[in-house]
Amino acid sequence: MNTKRALAAVALAAATALAAACSSGGGSTSTSATGTGSSSSGNVTLTWWNNGTNQPLLGFWQSVTKSFNASHPGITVKNVPIQNEQFTTKIPLALQGNNPPDVYQQWGGGAEATQVKSGKLVDLTTNVSSWIGDVGSAAAGWQVGGKQYGIPFDLHVVGFWYRKDLFASAGISAPPTTIAELESDDAKLQAKGIAPIAVGSKDRWPDAFWWEYFAVRECPQATVQASMTNVNLSDPCYNKASDDLTAFLKTNPFQKGYLGTPAQQGAGSSAGLVASGKAAMELQGDWEISTMEGVSTNKNLSSEIGFFPFPSIAGGAGSQTAVLGGGDGFSCTTSAPAAACATFLQYLDSPAIQTQLIKIAAPGLPANSAAVSAISTPAQQDAAAANKSADYVATYFDTALPTQPGQNLDNALANFFAGQGSSAAIVSSVGGPA
């Protein structure tokens, strides 16, 4: 799933900050690897497609390119911003042709697995083995068949973002840790005339977070991962997830008219409802504080927002600490020398560059945990801690699955939220007998 928020409109002085990062030795030493991406002089040129078309990410990537090229003689990276939505069409076409980009934006999961079949993606496993541990377990989201075909540069985690003041006014002293406690807290908030949870069901994709989290709590990790690989949701635990969601929806936890509420557009969005204090919490990704700030005039909002992970389910056979998430990354194609491409990706994930990425562009959580200290918002620090302590990170199902089944699942879940679907329809939307 792509980042669901707009980047801030003001660019910062990335070049100055990155000059310091460069001098601190971020990334690896220079290399003079040659291959199909090399020029007539023996130097390597890497064409880099990324979705940094807006500030501040646009300026940041431009500065990263400049600092990398200056510190790595023998490798030249050419920054080519591509509109995010165009990747779904441009990448398949590029991989079918004879001149794909050397490095390109990659979200992992089923889409990456489909792309690997083209034979144009480089297996980076050997080239990144000495440093991929810095990324941790999240790197698995960019593996296919146990091999590393992509590397994340930022990560995302989905959880609850809540108004601490509204919890206090309802007599809630601590965030819920179980679904039963969440339902009890919802009742306390309702008694105070506060909508417990906001959801932007008009945009449909936020609905999926709910069912997927119930599925992760009900289904063992091996089952979830096999289901994504085999494109099959026939295990009975997915019906349990649907039953859980049905029971939860019956408690009326959401704001009135939630089916017509957008997720992030304007003060009337689900993000806006939490920002204005009309709703107490929202299940969303770590980009949500920035989204709330964008639809609010409250300069102290970030300090008033807290975070807690999705609660546990009594008797659930799945992990009760696993988180739902994803991230943004890059893959290399066979048009580039693997060693040179891996050197560039290592640079992007070095502590110095990761720290500047979070401070300047704030796209999510850093892929390298060494840069977590750069996160300044307490709620996002808590989200990073939840991500780090999780048993595993379950990639958003619509990303983990191949593209069409993933879209089918999102549509089925939106229909389920609207009372027009069934558990059988959810299962059959992807595959497997209902």
What distance in Å separates the CA atoms of residue 267 and residue 336, rounded to the nearest whole number? 46
d(CA 190, CA 195): 6
pLDDT at 353: 97
pLDDT digits (tens, 9 = 90+) for 128-137: 999 999 888 7
pLDDT of 16 > 70? The answer is no
Percentage of residues in the chain having pLDDT higher than 70: 90
Whole-angstrom distance, CA of residue 79 vs CA of residue 52: 9
Residue 21: its pLDDT value, please?
39
Higher pLDDT pick, 8 / 266: 266
Rg of the Cα atoms in the chain = 22
Q: Where in the chain is the domain with CATH 3.40.190.10?
A: 14-156+325-381, 158-322+394-430
Unique residue bearing structure tokens 């908030």? 189
Question: What gap in Å lies between CA 165 and CA 331, rounded to an integer?
Answer: 43
- Amino acid at site 106: Q
Contact 144, 228 (CB under 8 A): no
Q: What is the pLDDT of residues 358-380, one digit of tens each?
A: 998 877 899 998 999 999 889 99
340-363 pLDDT, tens digit each: 999 999 999 999 999 999 998 877
Please, are residues 307 and 140 in contact by the beta-carbon 8 Å criterion? Answer: no
Q: State phi, psi for 326 to the nearest 5 degrees.
A: 180, -145
* d(C-alpha 227, C-alpha 430), whole Å: 10
How many C-beta atoms lie closer than 10 Å to residue 169's C-beta?
15
What band does 29 get if pLDDT is binned at 50, 70 and 90? very low
pLDDT in tens, 149-185: 999 999 999 999 999 999 999 999 999 999 999 999 9
Amino acid at 140: A
| CATH value of 14-156+325-381 in 3.20.20.70, 3.40.190.10, 3.50.50.100, 3.40.50.300 | 3.40.190.10
- Eight-class DSSP state of 285: E
- The residues facing 121 across adjacent strands are 333
216-221: average pLDDT: 98
- CATH says 158-322+394-430 is which class? alpha beta
Q: Are 324 and 216 in contact (CB under 8 A)?
A: yes
List pLDDT tens digits, range 266-303: 899 999 999 999 999 999 999 888 888 888 888 888 88
Strand partners, 147: 144
> Residue 8 corresponds to which amino acid?
A
Among candidate residues 25, 103, 100, 14, the one with its CA nearest the CA of residue 59:
14
- Residue 419's CB: how many other CB atoms inside 10 A? 9
Q: How confident is the model at residue 110 (pLDDT cuts 50, 70, 90)?
A: confident
Those residues whose C-beta lies under 8 Å from the C-beta of residue 299, and which sit 6 or more positions away, are none
The answer to whether residues 161 and 304 touch, using CB atoms and an 8 Å cutoff, is no
Q: How far apart are CA 192 and CA 172, in angstroms?
A: 12
DSSP letter for each residue of 111-144: HHHHHHTTT-B---HHHHTTTGGGTGGGGGGGEE
- Indicate the SS3 state at residue 330: strand
> What b/e sequence results for 212-223 when a residue is b if at least 16 CB atoms lie within 10 Å of its CB, and e otherwise?
bbbbbbbbeeeb
Integer Cα distance of 324 and 321 in angstroms: 10
**Whole-prediction pTM value?**
0.81
Cβ atoms 184, 325 nearer than 8 A: no
Q: In Å, what is the CA distance from 69 to each residue of 39, 60, 150, 226, 304?
A: 15, 14, 21, 41, 42
Give the pair of three-digit tokens for residue 366.
Answer: 């850093």
Distance of CA 241 to the CA centre of its chain: 22
Shortest CA distance to 228 belongs to which of 396, 3, 434? Answer: 396
Is the bond leading into 262 cis (omega within 30 degrees of zero)? no
Nearest-angstrom CA–CA distance, 382 and 287: 13
CA distance 426 to 334: 38
Is the pLDDT reported for residue 41 higher than 50? no
Q: Token pair for residue 395?
A: 């990639």
C-beta of residue 366 within 8 angstroms of C-beta of residue 348: no
pLDDT band for position 428 (50/70/90)?
very high
